[in-house]
Amino acid sequence: MRMRNSSKSYGAVAIALHWIVVLVVLGAWFTGRLGDALPRDSHELGLFFHISFGLALFSIALARFGWRIADPPPAPEPSKFGGKVGSKLGTWAGRASELVHLTIYALMFAIPVFGIMTQLARGYPLPVFGLLDIPSPWTGDRAFTHDMKELHELLANLLMVLIVLHAGAALVHHYVLHDRTLLRMVPGAQS
């Protein structure tokens, strides 16, 4: 498999970054959702993993965005909507796809930033993968912490909704439209 994208399919780097982001987003979301359900003695460890997933997401999303700029994605797969290629639904769907992708990228950066703000607003240091702690510039502020946490959670849930829409659209392309949109991002399915 080639490393870079071609005009018709994704390369190994884009595919690997895509699926790594999927795993990290799921890890961050699930550790965030399960954090409050953990026993008190495990809560700090759960928060450490959640923060680590969030920092990893920010870093990997930055790499993915940089790679997307350096190695633009292939053109959209031609799809038939109602028997015609390029119908109005196709134009609308293409624009919706672009908007969803851009919003997903924006959220992959914004969510970790608001998560970091939440941790620092508590007055707690930010643990960076267990290697160092970045001290908070603030003493704990409950109202600010609450606002940051609410925004962080709202955006994280919005990201999950968009990911479900994104995955659903890929499945529609595969099973209804019978094009290669989904297969272009599956490792080893390139032809």
- Classify residue 161 by its DSSP letter: H
**Mean pLDDT computed over every residue of the chain:** 90
Report field, pTM of the whole predicted structure over 0.85? yes
With 0-12 / 13-18 / 19 or more C-beta atoms within 10 angstroms meaning exposed / middle / buried, residue 169 is middle
With a CB cutoff of 8 Å and minimum separation 6, the contacts of 158 are: 107
Q: What is the pLDDT of residue 191?
A: 52
Distance between first and last Cα of the chain: 10
Strands annotated E in 57-188: 80-81, 84-85, 126-128, 132-134
* ∠ CA 68-70-71, rounded to 5°: 65
pLDDT over 70 (residue 76): yes
Report the pLDDT averaged over residues 5-34: 94
Q: What DSSP element (H or E) covers 98?
A: helix 88-121
Which residues are registered as beta bridge partners of 80? Answer: 85
In the chain, the percentage of residues whose pLDDT exceeds 90 is: 71
Q: How confident is the model at residue 35 (pLDDT cuts 50, 70, 90)?
A: confident
CA dihedral of 174, 12, 31, 162, whole degrees rounded to 10: -40
**Most trustworthy range by pLDDT among 3-12, 107-116, 137-146:** 107-116
Q: Tokens 């993968």 correspond to what residue?
A: 129
Q: Are 25 and 115 in contact (CB under 8 A)?
A: no
Q: What is the pLDDT of residue 81?
A: 60
- Classify residue 27 by its DSSP letter: H
Q: What is the pLDDT of residue 82?
A: 52
Higher pLDDT, 149 or 93: 149
pLDDT over 90 (residue 154): yes
pLDDT over 60 (residue 88): no
